[in-house]
Amino acid sequence: MSRQLTPDICVIGAGSAGLSVAAGAAAFGVPVVLVERAAMGGDCLNTGCIPSKSLLAAAGMAASRRAGAAFGVAPVDPAIDFAAAKAHLRSVISAIAPHDSVERFEGLGVTVVQGEARFTGRDTLAVGETTIRARRFVIATGSHPFLPPVPGLETVPFLTNESIFGLEACPEHLLILGGGPIGLEMAQAHRRLGARVTVLEAGRALSRDDEEHVPLVIEALKAEGVEFLERTHVARVEPGEAGVVLTVEWPEQGGRSDGAGRMGRIEGSHLLVATGRAPSIAGLGLDLAGVEFSARGIKVDEGLRTSNRRIYAIGDVVGGLQFTHVANYHAGLVLRSALFRLPAKENREIVPWVTYTTPEIAQVGLLEAEARKRYGTRLRAVRVDYAANDRAQAERRTTGKVKLLAGPGGRLVGASLVGANAGEMANLLSLAVSQGLTMKQLAGFIAPYPTYGEILRRAALAYYAEVPKRGLVRAVVRILRLFG
């Protein structure tokens, strides 16, 4: 039976971005329709953040059993029940799913329509037999795995983040195309759970992160047995006796060869394609809606409006930084603009991100190369090793570094961290960058002892390390001493 809906806001996509907009708008009594073609919760809940971190947690437990010797605890090689690890993953998803469910959102007053959405005009959307004519639309359809144009890829079974969590048996030898966050997190998780793992990356692994800190992550994974082949081109994929065979090409310097010059073959049981994400825009009818887009995503202005002023686009579908917390950030900006008609402007320079390997690696604000290009000699970088932290020493987690970037006036403009709890410490630095705090203010907070957070205060204090050596300062101290 056909029906027509006329809400104030229609949200397309029930991932993190869409759910945040729908719940926020409904809380203010605004009529909202939410459209989703697949599972509520989107990629983050079902095939992304939650399952990957749950698997990493299981892998971390296995690793801890192997690492007790330094603490006087006899190390053991744990028996891994891979299927049980996957059951843990599914139980976590099940515990969170009710928060993102159709029932909850209908209880909030949101009308949920399930099916494929397609624009039929600048202000009209069709979902099956339902027509939706809204004052504002928000496209939050997310992204999907990007498949590189590697010859033969279509001839073999391969995994993506959407399918790897369905494995019930541990791969014998997992080949991973892509050395980004997904590739490295899955590499370490599966290695710790018993798989042999080889990562192949066309360029530099974790290319978005600080080049000083990435080697600490790579070396840690290598120490656990993960094999890395960076700057390696995959020329062909084909079936093999064990599963899949990759024909690869290495650079003249470095890499590995089987004697056939710069060419070689690598055979594995499973292939994970983790070469990035592509915006999910197929079938939306964006042309009919007057929305400009490209292969990189929907084009938006600083306020996340598309070329059709009635339509916003948020989250992964606009390209750029594809993180769940960015999707939620976008949702807040759209609510500010659509509900209250207040100015809203995206600022990508305050966005943090973390890769949850061991050690973790995190970035807040500008990278050092970006900051030096902008501020030149007015930029100062201060560095502190984890080894200077008492808690890190107590837990034997001293592999790590913190770098703070101070611009004019000592304002914190960026920070890079690698080491234990780097992601948690990034929270304070993210606040500092977003609020324009200075190194003086960061040095003024009191960190409980002994915590990893003391590293941040120590780094901020290091900014002032030269002050006691200045002649004027020392002269003032000498004069004040005369007064007793």
Binding residues for FAD, by number, are 53, 141-143, 316
Annotated binding site: 53, 141-143, 178-185, 201, 276, 316
Calpha distance 328→314 (Å, rounded): 9
What per-residue string of b and e applies to 173-190 under the rule 16 or more CB within 10 Å gives b?
bbbbbbbbbbbbbbbbbb
Annotated binding site for NAD(+): 178-185, 201, 276
Question: What residue type is assigned to position 307 of the chain?
Answer: S
Per-residue DSSP letter, 269: S
The CA dihedral of 17, 209, 246, 221, to the nearest 10 degrees, is -110
Both tokens of residue 237?
């994929």
In the block, residue with structure tokens 């959405």: 117
Calpha distance 50→26 (Å, rounded): 25
Q: Given strand 380-385, what is the order of strands in its sheet? A: 353-355, 360-365, 412-419, 401-406, 380-385
Question: What residue type is assigned to position 484 of the chain?
Answer: G
Q: Are 15 and 134 in contact (CB under 8 A)?
A: no
Q: Are 80 and 58 in contact (CB under 8 A)?
A: no
Q: Are 367 and 414 in contact (CB under 8 A)?
A: yes
The CA dihedral of 295, 299, 302, 307, to the nearest 10 degrees, is 180
How many helices and strands (H and E) does the chain possess?
15, 25
Q: How many angstroms from the chain centroid is the CA of residue 466?
A: 37
**3-state SS, residue 395:** coil
> Beta partners for 354?
362
The CA dihedral of 427, 461, 209, 353, to the nearest 10 degrees, is 10
Beta strands 277-279; 143-145: pairing state: antiparallel
Q: Are 418 and 359 in contact (CB under 8 A)?
A: yes
Count of beta carbons in the 10 Å neighbourhood of residue 74: 7
In the block, residue with structure tokens 């600048």: 122
Radius of gyration (C-alpha) of the chain in whole angstroms? 25
Residue 466: phi, psi to the nearest 5?
-85, -10
Measuring CA to CA, how many Å separate 83 from each of 58, 167, 430? 11, 8, 38
